[in-house]
Amino acid sequence: MRLTFVFSLVTLFIATSCSPKLSTGNSAADQFDTDQRSLITSAAADEPMRVFKITNREDSILLRTASERVQINPNDRTLQLFIDRLLTTVQDSMSLGVGIAAPQVGILKNIIWVQRFDKADLPWEVFINPVIVQYSDLTRKGMEGCLSIPDRREECQRSYAILIEYDRPDGSHHTEMVEDFTAVIFQHEIDHLNGILYLDHLASDLAED
């Protein structure tokens, strides 16, 4: 079945849109506030962070808050430490998810990790300031769970394919089309950056509000 949307010619630049675009807004010194910096630097890169849960009132409030754009500086050691600890968290035996977003560990920054089921060897990749710029009309249904929503899984409907833009830690900017289950992971994690949980997509939950 054909996708019902057509990408513009800009998608032809996917392979060539990797020139560095370092942000000049904030310096590395003020990338994180005092509480965030303390949380990130409280342990080494191989130590997982606590996953925030909606069953905790304060956690739930933070999970419902939109995250901030990241000012990329390859020399920001705190940023790199956080990226590493976020991956350690999702790969920890207590979590074992297929994706994670920064708000899930209490850091309101636009950073996600996604396991790429659309690539050989299923690699983990980090995405900074990811944005979905186009959705397919074609959708798929599938079961979703969330590290921040304990003991619950529901069938959720998502777009089959999406066009995303994002940055890498080196400051390079990219555009990419993603399909099928991996596209679902991206939609789930990017929702977190906007204070949205997968439960919000369920008709039954919306009807109860």
List, for residues 61-77, the tens digit of each pLDDT value: 999 999 999 999 989 99
Cβ 82 vs Cβ 107: under 8 Å: yes
Average pLDDT over residues 23-39: 74
The residue-averaged pLDDT of 160-173 equals 97
Q: Stretch 74-99: mean pLDDT, rounded?
A: 93
Q: Return d(Cα 13, Cα 18) in angstroms, integer.
A: 9
Here the tokens at position 111 are 């950073």
The mean pLDDT of 199-204, rounded to a whole number, is 77
- Decide if pLDDT at 89 tops 90: yes
d(CA 209, CA 207): 6
Residue 89, number of CB atoms within 10 A of its CB: 21
Q: Which residues are catalytic?
A: 189
The predicted model gives 91-103 an average pLDDT of 90
Q: What is the pLDDT of residue 29?
A: 53
171 pLDDT above the threshold of 90: yes
pLDDT tens column, 190-201: 999 999 999 998
Distance CA 185, CA 130 (A): 12
The predicted structure's pLDDT at residue 209: 46
pLDDT of residue 5: 42
Contact call for residues 132 and 91 (beta carbons, < 8 A): no
Alpha-carbon dihedral of residues 201, 157, 136, 182, nearest 10 degrees? 100
Q: Quick one: tokens of 196?
A: 């949205």
Using DSSP, state whether 29 is helix, strand or coil: helix
The pTM assigned to this predicted structure is 0.84
Average pLDDT of the segment spanning 167-188: 97
